[in-house]
Amino acid sequence: MFAVTTVAAAVIVRLEWNNVKQMSAKDKTVFFAVIVSGWVMTGLNLPQLPGLHTIFGIMFKPFRPLLEQ
């Protein structure tokens, strides 16, 4: 999936390159930030990450004995 996203991001940048050259600096920054953030999030494999409840459970597990007294 990461390879597909890499190709898609490259194609989007290539097709929009003429428009990007004419954009203001702010617009260029936003355009590349959106492309790069989507690319990075695909590399993180978000569907396989644990949920918030699981992460909090792991973080606060050492304090459980203090709360159960």
pLDDT digits (tens, 9 = 90+) for 10-23: 999 999 999 999 99
Q: For 23-32, what is the mean pLDDT? A: 92
Backbone φ and ψ for 50, nearest 5 degrees, come out as -70, 160
Q: Please indicate whether residue 49 or residue 41 has the higher confidence score (pLDDT).
A: 41
R_g (Cα) of the chain, nearest Å: 20
- Domain positions in the chain are 2-67
Say if residue 54's pLDDT is above 70: yes
Q: CB neighbours of 2 closer than 8 A, spacing ≥ 6?
A: 42, 43
